[in-house]
A and B are shown apart, each in its own frame.
Chain A
Amino acid sequence: MKSNIFQNSKDVFLDTVNAKDYVQLDRVSTIYQALKDSVKKPLKMILLYGKPGTGKSMFLMKLYHDLSASQKVYIYQTPILDESEFYKTLAKDLFNVKYKGELNFTQFMLIVDENLIDETPLVLLDEAQLYSNPLMEKIRLLSDTRKVKFLITLHKTEKEDLIAKEHFQTRIWESIELENASSAELKIYIQKKLMKANCFDSANMFQNKSVNLIHKLTKGNYRDTNKLLYTLFDIYSWYDENNPSKINKNTISNKIIEMSAIHTGLIND
């Protein structure tokens, strides 16, 4: 049954965005609380940004999961790039208005005015860097009416910085940056994740030395860590089935960490 443990551990690190998989870390918890407080404030637009794999999507999903019970929250994980389609989707979801044919910004604003509701809906837009500049401008105008509140996430790259400067610099009331995990945070992240799935033996295998090496390889990036550990437990599963004498089940082998890194492309051999 040992092989099942490694198999289960492997599945823990499947790169999925699921609010249930969200791991509460001290720093992240603080940021999350700050974000929750911001949402309650009458702010027009909130920006959540950070490097790819720092947990923005997971953050957004967790927020949606937590707020959906208490307020009107709408999440769009995949950007709706067509402008008309974007307005139509919003009209349908926010105001339950089904519009046939092309819907432009002016028509959408009329729908918003006609369907005023007491509670300001919160729209969560993931991967906002993919929206076109004119559409971003419309989103900004829409948020200025205070009839819809937006929380958008952006990748923090030079290009996205430029977008942020051009469109949101003076309009964003709150911006929160997500960063990569430190080595200690990464250890907690890995162990909490494994323990959530009842993989206690696997969780205990992660000593500081192993976590430091993982942190060195992934630079604390959650997505890279997930990928690396998924491969790591895949390799452990293989050894457990084919050559169990070659693995030590008390600690994670640096060799297997490095093999995983080679496989995932974190190390160039």
Chain B
Amino acid sequence: MINVHELERRWNRYKIKSYIPHATIVVSILVIFTLVFSLFTSKEDIVIPPQEIQKELVSVQERTSLAKTGHEENLSVKSEKTEAVAQESVVEKKETQQVEPAKVYAQVKVPSKEKIYLTPSLNFMKNINSEAFPYYENDPSAEEDTLSESESNSNEKTITPEKKIVAEAEQERQVPEIKKTSINIKRQDTQEDIRHVIKRFKKSHNPALSLFVAKKYYELGDYHKSYNYALMTNEINNNIEASWIIFAKSLVKLNEKEMAIKTLTQYIDHSNSHQAKLLLDEIRSGKFK
């Protein structure tokens, strides 16, 4: 007689065994599918949708504008302070200087509700700062000089163009952040400045520096040197309008009016500079001597 119970048990075992290869195939297919799917989705994650990019751009722009606003506020505050510098103590000024970057930082941080935004590293700015004006930070006596000198109205007049020149020079270098550091420049030691700048120019051959020197010498009335540095600037970069103007002005001052007119005319032909045209008119009319 057949033992059917035993046979059923054996049949169950056989069935389970027969399903193993199928189950293995199904499981492996599922695993492969899952892997492929996960790979696919991870790739999708990397590709940021255009809306997201737009969002991010907007937020970055917001932050930049906020930073700018803060910076501008900072600037205005600082300029006010510059005007009122005679009435303020050195300590107060230092406090302001310390507080203001924090203020700017706070203003930048407030709207940034997003956590994952990357912020640019401004470490390089430190290098630029130290490269650009190392002597401003390292010479506290100079700062005192500045303060004492700023008390006299006559000297204050010389501060403004100097600041302007520095700002222009830095604009040429296309590093807008330099403005931040340039705000506090109130130095009067022009010869020392020129010497430093010439030293740096010899190293870097930066036309902005040579232009700065040319302008300085022009201001000091050393037209030969201003002519030379303007010429050097033009040799390095012949598209700097300010340099050509200083060059022409220096020539006029050196009684080379015709040469100046000729140079300016050529430059105007080349660049169609409005300022050069004005200067040319002034020279021709004898307004500029």
Does A259 touch B at the CB level, under 8 Å? yes
- Could you give, for residues 2-16 of chain B, a 1 whenever the CB lies within 8 Å of some chain A CB and a 0 otherwise? 101001101101110
Complex contacts, A255 vs chain B, CB 8 Å: 11
Does A162 touch B at the CB level, under 8 Å? no
Complex contacts, A259 vs chain B, CB 8 Å: 4, 7-8, 10-11
Bound together, the chains give a CA A234 to CA B1 distance in angstroms of: 8
The interface size of chain B toward A, counting residues with CB under 8 Å, comes to 11
Complex contacts, B17 vs chain A, CB 8 Å: 269
The dominant DSSP class at the A interface is helix
Instruction: State how many angstroms separate the Cβ of A16 from the closest Cβ of chain B.
Output: 20
Complex contacts, A234 vs chain B, CB 8 Å: 2
- Could you give, for residues 109-141 of chain A, a 1 whenever the CB lies within 8 Å of some chain B CB and a 0 otherwise? 000000000000000000000000000000000
A238 is contacted by which of B4, B11, B15 (Cβ under 8 Å)?
A: B4
Instruction: State how many angstroms separate the Cβ of B6 from the closest Cβ of chain A.
Output: 9
Bound together, the chains give a CA A76 to CA B1 distance in angstroms of: 34
Q: Is the pair A263, B14 in contact by a Cβ cutoff of 8 Å? A: no
Complex contacts, A242 vs chain B, CB 8 Å: 4
Bound together, the chains give a CA A89 to CA B10 distance in angstroms of: 50
B2 is contacted by which of A258, A263, A267, A269 (Cβ under 8 Å)?
A: A263
Residue in chain B with minimal CB distance to A238: B4
Does A176 touch B at the CB level, under 8 Å? no
Bound together, the chains give a CA A116 to CA B289 distance in angstroms of: 162
Q: Is the pair B2, A262 in contact by a Cβ cutoff of 8 Å? A: no
**Total A-B pairs in contact (CB under 8 Å)?**
31
Complex contacts, A263 vs chain B, CB 8 Å: 2, 7
Does A173 touch B at the CB level, under 8 Å? no
Bound together, the chains give a CA A262 to CA B15 distance in angstroms of: 11
Does A239 touch B at the CB level, under 8 Å? yes
Q: Is the pair A239, B13 in contact by a Cβ cutoff of 8 Å? A: no
Complex contacts, A235 vs chain B, CB 8 Å: 2, 4, 7
Does A231 touch B at the CB level, under 8 Å? yes
Residue in chain A with minimal CB distance to B11: A259
Complex contacts, B8 vs chain A, CB 8 Å: 259
Complex contacts, B10 vs chain A, CB 8 Å: 259, 262, 269
Residue in chain A with minimal CB distance to B13: A269
- Could you give, for residues 244-269 of chain A, a 1 whenever the CB lies within 8 Å of some chain B CB and a 0 otherwise? 00000000000100110011000101
Bound together, the chains give a CA A258 to CA B13 distance in angstroms of: 12
Instruction: State how many angstroms separate the Cβ of B33 from the closest Cβ of chain A.
Output: 31
Q: Is the pair B4, A269 in contact by a Cβ cutoff of 8 Å? A: no
Instruction: State how many angstroms separate the Cβ of A6 from the closest Cβ of chain B.
Output: 12
Complex contacts, B13 vs chain A, CB 8 Å: 269
Q: Is the pair B11, A239 in contact by a Cβ cutoff of 8 Å? A: no
Instruction: State how many angstroms separate the Cβ of B21 from the closest Cβ of chain A.
Output: 15
- Could you give, for residues 163-207 of chain A, a 1 whenever the CB lies within 8 Å of some chain B CB and a 0 otherwise? 000000000000000000000000000000000000000000000
Q: Given A259-B7, A259-B8 in contact, is the A238-B2 Cβ separation under 8 Å?
A: yes
Q: Is the pair B14, A239 in contact by a Cβ cutoff of 8 Å? A: no
Instruction: State how many angstroms separate the Cβ of A13 from the closest Cβ of chain B.
Output: 14
Residue in chain A with minimal CB distance to B17: A269
Residue in chain B with minimal CB distance to A267: B14
Instruction: State how many angstroms separate the Cβ of B7 from the closest Cβ of chain A.
Output: 5
Residue in chain B with minimal CB distance to A239: B4
Q: Is the pair A258, B11 in contact by a Cβ cutoff of 8 Å? A: yes
Complex contacts, B7 vs chain A, CB 8 Å: 235, 259, 262-263
Residue in chain A with minimal CB distance to B9: A269
Residue in chain B with minimal CB distance to A260: B7
Residue in chain B with minimal CB distance to A231: B2
Instruction: State how many angstroms separate the Cβ of A264 from the closest Cβ of chain B.
Output: 11
Bound together, the chains give a CA A267 to CA B7 distance in angstroms of: 12
- Could you give, for residues 86-118 of chain A, a 1 whenever the CB lies within 8 Å of some chain B CB and a 0 otherwise? 000000000000000000000000000000000
- Residue in B1, B4, B17 with the greatest tally of chain A CB atoms within 10 Å: B4
Complex contacts, B2 vs chain A, CB 8 Å: 231, 234-235, 238, 263
Complex contacts, A238 vs chain B, CB 8 Å: 1-2, 4
Bound together, the chains give a CA A177 to CA B7 distance in angstroms of: 37
Complex contacts, A262 vs chain B, CB 8 Å: 7, 10-11, 14
Bound together, the chains give a CA A96 to CA B107 distance in angstroms of: 131
B1-49 contacts to A, CB under 8 A, are 1-2, 4, 7-8, 10-11, 13-15, 17
Q: Which B residues have a C-beta under 8 Å from some C-beta of A?
A: 1-2, 4, 7-8, 10-11, 13-15, 17
Q: Please name the 7 residue pairs, one residue from A and one from B, whose CB atoms are nearest each other, closest first.
A: A269-B14, A269-B10, A259-B11, A259-B7, A238-B4, A262-B10, A269-B13
Q: Which A residues have a C-beta under 8 Å from some C-beta of B?
A: 231, 234-235, 238-239, 242, 255, 258-259, 262-263, 267, 269
Can you give 26 A-B contacts (C-beta < 8 A)? A231-B2, A234-B2, A235-B2, A235-B4, A235-B7, A238-B1, A238-B2, A238-B4, A239-B4, A242-B4, A255-B11, A258-B11, A258-B14, A258-B15, A259-B4, A259-B7, A259-B8, A259-B10, A262-B7, A262-B10, A262-B11, A262-B14, A267-B14, A269-B10, A269-B11, A269-B13
